[in-house]
Structure 1
Amino acid sequence: MSGVTLVETTATDAPEALVHAAGLCGRMAADLGARVIRIEDPGSKPSSADLFLHTGKERLSTQPRNRAALIADFAKEADALIVDPASFAAMPEQSCSAIAVILAMSRDAPERGSEFTVEARSGLLDLVGDPTREPLRLGGHQIGYSGGLAAYLGMIAALLRRKAGLPGGPVHVDLLDVAVWLNWKTLSTASRTGRAPTRAGAAAEWSVVACSDGYVALVYRVQEWEALKTATNDVRLNDERFQTAAGRRLHRGDLNTILADIFSSKTRSEIRAMALSKKLPLGPVWTPDELRDNPHMIARNFLYLVETGEAPVPMPTLPVKWNKRTFAPAIANSAIPIALDPAE
């Protein structure tokens, strides 16, 4: 994206999910060589997410009353704008040729809601966890980051259309649409069977259980049941109730209780060795420090150092490659915000 200029901004009170979505869209473009100018409020304290999302950008901070005019000035020369609905609506009328990439929470409430409410409305919260308790928000910022990826792809499509002499925008990305797309299996299952899947809790087909030094994800397919029985060598799994897929579904709670007991005394290393020997997709749950020191992650440059002005901070690289090359410098400048004079 060398030679492409983008302007990114979100309103002071924009939902956090929109901030993350816009930030990831701009970050991916910056990693691929675009000039990304982020306009933000002054005095915001950098967070880990802030360092991750805004590395490689030119960051300009200005008072909210000056933001719209500043965006408009930069937009005259930009190829695309990455904005939330409030920021886009506040821009003065002008002849701007930049493609607008507008990120909203949903069509009926563009500037309201959170990742939690979007996950609830899309049905994602009814897939994971214990059905006897209130639902929990999914870990991390999955909806915001997925929205950022959708915005990036939409922006690239619009830029390519413009290059071909076709209308190129605007691009509208609603996080609720993104979440519904992520939950497409629920829609497919409901349309096919008349019943949507719901939280199964302890009776889920796959579960995470405690082992002697952490946790392990018990993932196995129908064709791997016999290998699992052989690997564990526990007579309780020979129970007649568990010998067919239908029987295992019917008695899943009892089966999971037995499996949790089997693995509770094993270490993650023992489980990994057992899984490899029988070609089972059981997965240990790693800690952040273990991921950092894992030789596979090191070989793939999973982490790189971001300079903060105090001490370099390790950050994950984006899954962006071009001609098999990962775009992650050895040490990247975090682009500390530049405060503009309020009068400018």
Structure 2
Amino acid sequence: MAAPLAGRRVLDLGALCAQRPHALAASMAARLCAAYGAEVVRPVPESGEPFARLPPLLPDGGSALDRFLNAGKRRGPAATGAFDAAIGDSAALGAHAAAVPVRVRLSVFGPGEDPPMSELGLLALSGLLDIVGEAEGPPARLAGHQPAYAAGLAACTGLLAALRAGGEEVVEVSLFDVTAWLNWKAPASVMVLGAAPSRSGLPKDWHTLPVRDGHVALVYQDKDWPALRDLVGDPRLRREEFLTIAGRRRHHAELMAVLRPWFAARSRAEITAAAQARRIPIGPVLAPAELLDDAQHRARGFLGPGGMPHLPLRWDGARVGAEATDAALA
């Protein structure tokens, strides 16, 4: 399949954005454009690449974030020539891309509403912080840069649509709107149940449990309980207090006292194989290095030998413009 943006030039202004969430989102959108075959040019300020020392750091001291977001891009002090599209915040676009026909403008709340904002602030405003983590502890920040990366995906989608339509267009992407969309279950719960979910009201059905060689994610629904009960095989699980989901929630501590020793005595592979045989959605918690050898990732060709994801993927696992993308990452 031919790369859909082959022959297009995209200006990545992520390094010139004033705020970190905007910079990450613009860089992610441009990263996808490069994977779609575009020539992506990334001007950097005199101080250098802002992502160059951001964690996580690689053994050689470089930034894995920089390596991932800027793969396949051409960096330099200035951008010259004509461009089909540009991605950045309001100030960066105004200073460097006023004549570019398609401009993707990132802001916090929308045009003209761009106050100082962090990714943590976006998570809090969207309500996501209220549903992550244990009720007894502090809110837990989502791993990675999920709000910014989701905004980058939205920005790339809008850019592709604008290029296909032709002509001039400003694509507006609100970081808050995207983050609120990630928490779509909150408004749905308000409409259906009359209240938004919160950590204090979430049932304790799903857990991460220690096992002999790490951890597994114990994820099951009420329909899976008989299979899980039989898998563990402890007669105490047939007691009356564990017959219903309401009873298991009320007697959570007693339930865990029965389950934990069984899991702790077995390996991740042993538990996963036994659970899959009974169609219980239990899976291992993998370390980053283990993902390189994950059977599903290998089958889909998702990760390269050095751990770099091959993006984007089609629904059937094939990579778009794979030859051009691989050459750019080499």
Which of the numbers 28, 33, 48 marks the counterpart of 2:64? 48
| Partner residue in 2 for 1:248 | 248
Q: What percentage of residue pairs aligned between the two structures are identical?
A: 38
C-alpha contact 1:119 1:179 (8 A) present in aligned 2? yes
Deviation string, structure 1 residues 108-137 (Cα, Å, up to 9, x no partner): 752521111101110111111122222121
| Partner residue in 2 for 1:58 | 74
- d(CA) in 1 for partners of 2:72 and 2:315? 17
- d(CA) in 2 for partners of 1:27 and 1:60? 16
- Quickly say closer, same or farther: Cα 1:203–1:177, change in 2 above 3 A: same
| Partner residue in 2 for 1:308 | none
| Partner residue in 2 for 1:31 | 35
C-alpha contact 2:234 2:258 (8 A) present in aligned 1? no
Q: Please, what is the CA RMSD of the aligned residues?
A: 2.6
SS of residue in 1 equivalent to 2:289: helix
Aligned positions of 1:1-344 closer than 5 A? 1-10=5-14, 12=16, 14-42=18-46, 43-44=48-49, 45=52, 47-62=63-78, 70=79, 74=81, 77-91=82-96, 96-107=99-110, 110=114, 112-162=116-166, 169-200=169-200, 204-304=204-304, 313-321=306-314, 325-327=318-320, 328=322, 332-333=327-328
What TM-score does the superposition give when structure 1 sets the normalisation length? Answer: 0.81
What TM-score does the superposition give when structure 2 sets the normalisation length? Answer: 0.85
Q: Which stretches in structure 1 are left out of the alignment for 5+ residues?
A: 63-69, 306-312, 336-344
C-alpha contact 2:10 2:38 (8 A) present in aligned 1? yes
Q: How many residues align?
A: 311
Deviation string, structure 1 residues 130-169 (Cα, Å, up to 9, x no partner): 222221210111111111111111111112222xxxx652
Q: Which stretches in structure 2 are left out of the alignment for 5+ residues?
A: 53-61
| Partner residue in 2 for 1:340 | none
C-alpha contact 2:88 2:105 (8 A) present in aligned 1? yes
- d(CA) in 1 for partners of 2:42 and 2:232? 54
Question: 1:323 deviation in Å?
Answer: 7.9
Mean CA deviation greater in 107-116 or 204-213 = 107-116
Question: 1:258 deviation in Å?
Answer: 3.4
- Quickly say closer, same or farther: Cα 1:41–1:111, change in 2 above 3 A: farther
C-alpha contact 1:105 1:175 (8 A) present in aligned 2? yes
AA in 1 matched with 2:226: E
Mean CA deviation greater in 198-207 or 291-300 = 198-207
